[in-house]
Structure 1
């Protein structure tokens, strides 16, 4: 196999169109959940004075306007309105671009007040590539394969992996080996620990090992990209990623929800067909024998 064919096979691995429809639905659903359940503080920025706005680099280059009450509210309305038709496959490219533009502004607003999150990097990439996917994608479609969809989802997968890998790089960039040898996990548990993690404070050596383990985990995540020919192995690694985030959530309450949505593009979601599931449920109900009616008790006059 030549290098060129190997590269093409990696970047343009055909993906069933059913996965595109499923990811559109998940992306739109998350947008509706985020603003009130996951990051409600973003909507609260409509009340923040403009002097506190410190735009990200991209916000200064474009340039984007300083958030006001009506700008934040209008961005949210456009974002939610565009998410609905896109998630149900109605003109998904048109509404996908509208959603991407609104969500882009939404993220600039979210990250321009002193705190920058990296959990949405993969999700932003997902919204962008969904605008480029075939419009005729349908739930449960396993027959029609698309190299364009494979290329787009590969970009999302790379963004997901870079979220981990560059996180490790940032730790070394700003803290060196001191981050791994520090008490950062101890501080995190003291600040936002739960019943599942408070007991670890009695074992500082365990937290020290966990910090080194996290760095090793983040540096090794690119492996998931290169086992694409062995799907069961890849699915097992992705399942480990989800278990890792579940553990973090139970320990300190951090969920990385948009990252988890983007990571779903690794999974064979084309196997899910809501219409087929409803059809099976109806057939099962029809096949069930009618329950025998109990005789009514007789009373002597």
Structure 2
């Protein structure tokens, strides 16, 4: 196998269009959840004085004004209005582009007041590539593979892995090995620990080892990309990543929900068809009384000669 063939097989691995429909729905659903349940503080920025606005680099390069009441409110309205038709497959490219632009501004508003989150990097990549996916994607379509969809989801997967890998790089860049040798986990548990993690304060060596384990874990995440030919192994690694985030949420209350939505593009979501699920559920809960009774066959009498 030539290098070019291997590279094309990696980046353009065909993906069924059913996965595109599922990811569009998940992306739109998350947008509806984020503003009122996951990060409601973003909407409250409409009341923050403009003097506290510290724009990101992209906010300084582009002519984006400081957010005010109407900018924040209008961005939210446009974002929700575009997410609804896109998630149900109506004009997904048109409304996908509108959603991406609105969410881009939404993230500038969220991260320009002194705190920058990295959990949304993979999700923003997902919104961008969904704009370029085939419009005719339908739930449960396993029979229509698409190299364009495979290329797009591969970019999202790279974004997901970069979220981990570059996080480890940032630790070394700003803290060196002192981050792993510090008491950052102890500080985190004291600050926002739960009943699932407070007991670890009695075991400082365990916390110290966990910090080194965190760095090793983040540096090894590119493995999930290299095993793309062995799907069961890849699914097992993705399941481990989901379990890791569930553990972090239980221990510290830190959630990476947009990251987890983007990571779903690794999974065979094309196997999900809501119509089949509805029909199966209806058939399972239908009682015999709801079905018409079968008519008994009428007796047949032979005519006498």
The TM-score range, normalised by the shorter chain, is: over 0.9
SS in 1 for 2:143: coil
Q: Work out the CA distance in 1 between the residues paired with 2:37 and 2:30.
A: 10
Q: Work out the CA distance in 1 between the residues paired with 2:243 and 2:165.
A: 18
Q: Work out the CA distance in 2 between the residues paired with 1:209 and 1:215.
A: 10
Size of the aligned set, in residue pairs, is 290
SS in 2 for 1:290: helix
Q: Work out the CA distance in 1 between the residues paired with 2:197 and 2:204.
A: 12
Structure 2 unpaired stretches of 5+: 291-305
Shift in Å, 1:269: 0.3
Shift in Å, 1:62: 1.0
Partner of 1:37: 37
Partner of 1:154: 154
SS in 1 for 2:283: helix
Shift in Å, 1:282: 1.9
Shift in Å, 1:65: 1.0
Runs of at least 4 residues of structure 1 off by over 4 A? none
Shift in Å, 1:290: 3.3
Matches within 5 A, 1:2-151: 2-151=2-151
Asked whether 1:199 is paired with 2:216, we answer: no
CA deviation vs aligned residue, 1:195-242 (integer Å, no higher than 9, x gap):
000000000000000000000000000000010000000000000000
Q: Work out the CA distance in 1 between the residues paired with 2:237 and 2:12.
A: 21
Partner of 1:209: 209
Q: Work out the CA distance in 1 between the residues paired with 2:11 and 2:248.
A: 31
Q: Work out the CA distance in 1 between the residues paired with 2:242 and 2:267.
A: 12
Q: Work out the CA distance in 1 between the residues paired with 2:165 and 2:62.
A: 28
Q: Work out the CA distance in 2 between the residues paired with 1:225 and 1:22.
A: 21
Q: Work out the CA distance in 2 between the residues paired with 1:66 and 1:86.
A: 28
Asked whether 1:169 is paired with 2:169, we answer: yes
Shift in Å, 1:28: 0.1
**What root-mean-square deviation, in Å, do the aligned CA atoms of Structure 1 and Structure 2 show?**
0.8
SS in 2 for 1:143: coil
Q: TM-score by structure 1 length?
A: 0.95
Q: Work out the CA distance in 2 between the residues paired with 1:222 and 1:281.
A: 39
Structure 1 unpaired stretches of 5+: 292-301
Partner of 2:188: 188
Partner of 1:257: 257
Partner of 1:294: none
Q: Work out the CA distance in 2 between the residues paired with 1:283 and 1:251.
A: 41
Q: Work out the CA distance in 1 between the residues paired with 2:258 and 2:283.
A: 36
Partner of 2:302: none
Partner of 2:271: 271
Q: Work out the CA distance in 1 between the residues paired with 2:19 and 2:140.
A: 8
Q: Work out the CA distance in 1 between the residues paired with 2:245 and 2:281.
A: 33
Matches within 5 A, 1:237-256: 237-256=237-256
Q: Work out the CA distance in 2 between the residues paired with 1:91 and 1:189.
A: 46
Q: Work out the CA distance in 1 between the residues paired with 2:7 and 2:61.
A: 34
Please say which structure displays the higher CA radius of gyration: 2
Q: Work out the CA distance in 2 between the residues paired with 1:152 and 1:163.
A: 17
Shift in Å, 1:289: 2.7
Q: TM-score by structure 2 length?
A: 0.94
